[in-house]
A and B are shown apart, each in its own frame.
Chain A
Amino acid sequence: MNKVAIVAAGITKFNKSDKPLESVMLSSIRPIFETTKNLGQGDIDVVLTSTNANRNYFANIISELSGIKPKISHSVESLCNSGTNSLVSAYAYVSSGLADVALVTGGDKTDNPGLVLNWDMSRGEYRHPIFWSSMFTSAHMRKYGTTLEDLAYVSVKNHRNALDNPHAYFEKSFSLDDVMHSKNLTENLRLLDCSMPCDGAASVLVCSEEKAKKFTDNPVWISGIGQKTISASFTKNDDLASMESTKIAVDDAYRMSNKTAEDIDVIELHDAFSICEIIELEDMGFCQKGLGSKLVRDLHDTNNKKVNPRGGLIGAGHPLGATGIAQVAEIYYQLNGMAGKRQVDGAKTGLVHNMSAGSTSSTVLVLES
C-alpha cells in the first residue's frame, strides 16, 4: 500500500445558525484552498462527504459548489463516526493508487436526524442516547466504584480545554459544582455530562506521498487504522463497563502502526458523555481497567491537555458528520505545532477515537508527523 498523508485541514465555528448545510460545509473547505500551496480544484480526484442529514447526491452537490469535478464522489454515513469512516475510505482510495488527492468534508446541523437510531428495537421506548449512556455509567459504577464526581471531572476538564479552542461551541468554563448541579437527566447523568448537538463542519485534504510534496513541507501520516462493528443494536454490548468495538479497533490500529498507548502524545477521543472518556481511556490502554477516573482527575489537576485538547465533544460540540473529521483536524494541527494555546508540547504521534451508537462501532486512527 502507498503511504497516505494529511496535508491540510479546515474547520468552522461550532454553533447554532440559520445557514444551510452546504454553506456550513463550504466554510470548512475554503480555508483548505486558502492555506495550501499549489492546490487548485483540478488537483482533487475524490470528494467524500460525511453527514447524517439524509441528503441525496450530496458529495456531487458539494463538489459542484466547490468548483471540483472529481473522479469519485459519494457520501459516507455511519452516525457519529461518519467522519472517520470517510477518512478511512479516502485512505483506501489513495493507498490503493486509485486516486491521488481526496477532499474529505463532514458537517451537520443541530436538528440532523442521526441522533437517534429508530431501527434499534432493543432500546424499546428508551431510544435517546442518554439511556445507553446511563447504562454504561451504572455498569462502571457497579464494577469499579466510579462516582458522579468522577464523571463531573471529565466535563470540567473538557469545557476548560474548549476555552482555548476558538471553534468550540462552549465559550465558558464550568466548576465541579456547576456540573454536579446541572439538570439531572437520569440518576447518574447530568446535562453537562453530555455533548451538545450543533452546527459545524470540518474538512481535511488527504493525498499520496508524491502529491504531499507539492502541497506541504509538513505532512501528517496516517500510520494506523482500526475499525470494528459489533452490531447496530446497543444491547449487543456484552460488558457495559467496556466498549468491545473500541478495544478491537485500537488493537488493530496499534498493530498496523507498530505503536502502543505509551507512544501516543495527544489523543482525541469520543466523549459523547462523560462516562465514555473514562471507559475509552481504559479500553485503549492509557491506564488499567478501573483507573480511568483517576487518570482524568490527574489530567484535570495538572492542566494536562493530552486528552481532548480542543475540548472533546463535550466542550467543542457534536455536529455528528463533522466530529470525526474535526478530531482528525485537531491532531493534524497538534502534530504540526499549529494548535495555539492548546498545543501539547512536542507532540509527534496522535490518536483519534470516534464511535457510534453506544460503541456498537468504533474507528481508531494513529497519525504521525
Chain B
Amino acid sequence: MTRFEDELKNNNFVCSYCVKCEHFVWPASEFCNKCLGDVTWKQVSKNAKLVESSSKDGRYFCIAEFEGNIRVFGALSEDSQPKHAQDLILEKCDYDNSPKFVFKTG
C-alpha cells in the first residue's frame, strides 16, 4: 500500500507535497508533477468546498475540493440537499480497495 492509502486506513488524509514548488501533488505521487522532484507527505485540511453533488438511492454524494486543488468524490452524511460552493468538513476517511471520504456540511 502507498503512504496515502495507509494513512486513509487510519482515518487520516495526507497528500504528497512538494516543498520546492509549494503545492500539494494530486493525485498522490512520489514525484512532484511540476518539477518531478521528491515530495514530502503533508496533512490535508479537513475544510473543503462542495464543487458539485448528486444522489443515488437517496444518499448524497459530491465532489469536494481541498486546499484549492485536491478534488475527490465522497459521500455526504446528512440528508439535506447540498448546495454548490457550500463549506464542507471531512468527517471521516478510509481505504478499502478504494479511497472513501465522508463529509458533513460546515
Please, which residue of chain A has its CB at the minimum distance from the CB of B55?
A187
Known A122-B71, A125-B73, A131-B73: A235·B54 in contact at CB below 8 Å: no
Partner of B27, one of A126, A127, A233: A233
Q: Is the CB of A236 within 8 A of B71?
A: yes
Q: Which residues of A contact B (CB under 8 A)?
A: 118, 120-127, 131, 134-135, 137-139, 142, 185-189, 233, 235-236, 240
Partner of A135, one of B4, B54, B98, B99: B54
- Decide if B100 is an interface residue (CB 8 Å cutoff): yes
Q: Is the CB of B73 within 8 A of A187?
A: no
Main secondary structure of the interface of B (DSSP, over half): strand
Within 11-50 of B, Cβ neighbours of A (below 8 Å) are at 26-28
Q: Is the CB of B55 within 8 A of A186?
A: yes
Contacts of B26 in A (CB 8 A): 122, 233
Contacts of A134 in B (CB 8 A): 54, 56
Q: Is the CB of B63 within 8 A of A135?
A: yes
Cα-based distance from A168 to B98 in the complex (angstroms): 35
Chain B residues bordering chain A, tally (CB within 8 A): 22
Q: Is the CB of A235 within 8 A of B56?
A: no
Cα-based distance from A361 to B100 in the complex (angstroms): 25
Please, which residue of chain B has its CB at the minimum distance from the CB of A231?
B27
Partner of B54, one of A118, A123, A137, A236: A137
Partner of B56, one of A118, A122, A186, A233: A186
Q: Is the CB of A235 within 8 A of B72?
A: yes
Min Cβ gap B41→A in Å is 15
Known A124-B101, A127-B98: A235·B84 in contact at CB below 8 Å: no
Within 42-95 of B, Cβ neighbours of A (below 8 Å) are at 51-56, 61, 63, 71-75, 84
Known A233-B27, A236-B71: A138·B53 in contact at CB below 8 Å: yes
Known A138-B53, A139-B52, A185-B56: A235·B99 in contact at CB below 8 Å: no
Known A121-B4, A124-B73: A135·B52 in contact at CB below 8 Å: yes
Please, which residue of chain A has its CB at the minimum distance from the CB of B2?
A121
Min Cβ gap A330→B in Å is 32
